[in-house]
Amino acid sequence: MRSTKAASAVERLKERSGNDDYVLVRNADETFQLLDRSGAEPVPVGERLPLDEFVAFVKTLGPQTVQRRTKSDIAFEKQLVRKK
């Protein structure tokens, strides 16, 4: 199922934001839309988008997680800078 990628993006958004009221809607024209059901009526968040654009849009919402960087990662980045 192609919507697995979109569903995973919405699940990650729910975890980041702490809002379990986000819902993924797949439309008949193969577009995806995000709804917020926290109120009395669902409120569309954004517009209908194709799969890849929808996933990119959902990644920009909510608080962003900071990627972990190990000592090895930092040392490797320093080496890359020196070689340029």
Summarised one tens digit per residue, pLDDT across range 32-44 is 999 999 888 989 9
What pLDDT, on a 0 to 100 scale, did the predictor assign at position 59?
92
| Residue bearing tokens 């009526």 | 41
pTM score: 0.72
Give the rounded distance of the alpha carbon of 37 from its chain centre: 18
Instruction: Tell me the average pLDDT of the chain.
Output: 88
pLDDT at 1 over 50: no
* Number of separate domains in the chain: 1
**Cα dihedral 56→36→27→52 (10° resolution):** 0
Domain residues for the domain of 44 are 3-83
Q: pLDDT tier at 25 (50, 70, 90 boundaries)? A: very high
